[in-house]
Amino acid sequence: MIWRREEAEAATPGAVPSPPRERKDTHMADNGEVTIVGAGARLEGNVVSAGSLRIDGQVKGQINADGDVTLSPQSQVEADIRAQNVSVAGKFNGNIIVKERAHLARGGRIDGNITSKTLVVEEGGVFHGQSIMDAGASSGSRSSAQAASSSTSAAGTPTKEPDQVKV
What pLDDT sits at residue 48? 92
- For residue 6, the model assigns a pLDDT of 52
Residue 10 lies in a domain: no
Residue 148 lies in a domain: yes
- What pLDDT score does 135 carry? 66
Classify residue 8: in a domain, yes or no. no
Give CA–CA dist 42/87, Å, rounded.
19
Identify the domain containing residue 81 by its residue range.
Answer: 27-166
Q: Is residue 59 part of a domain?
A: yes
**Does residue 20 form part of some domain?**
no
pLDDT at 45: 93
pLDDT of residue 147: 40
Cα–Cα distance, 2 to 25 (Å, whole number)? 18
**Distance between CA atoms of 48 and 150, rounded to whole angstroms?**
35
pTM over 0.75, yes/no: no
Question: So what's the pLDDT on residue 35?
Answer: 84
pLDDT value of position 166: 42
The stretches in the chain having pLDDT less than 50 are: 1, 3, 5, 8-9, 12, 14-29, 139-167
Q: What is the pLDDT of residue 80?
A: 98
How many domains in the chain? Answer: 1
CA atoms of 105 and 88, how far apart (whole Å): 6
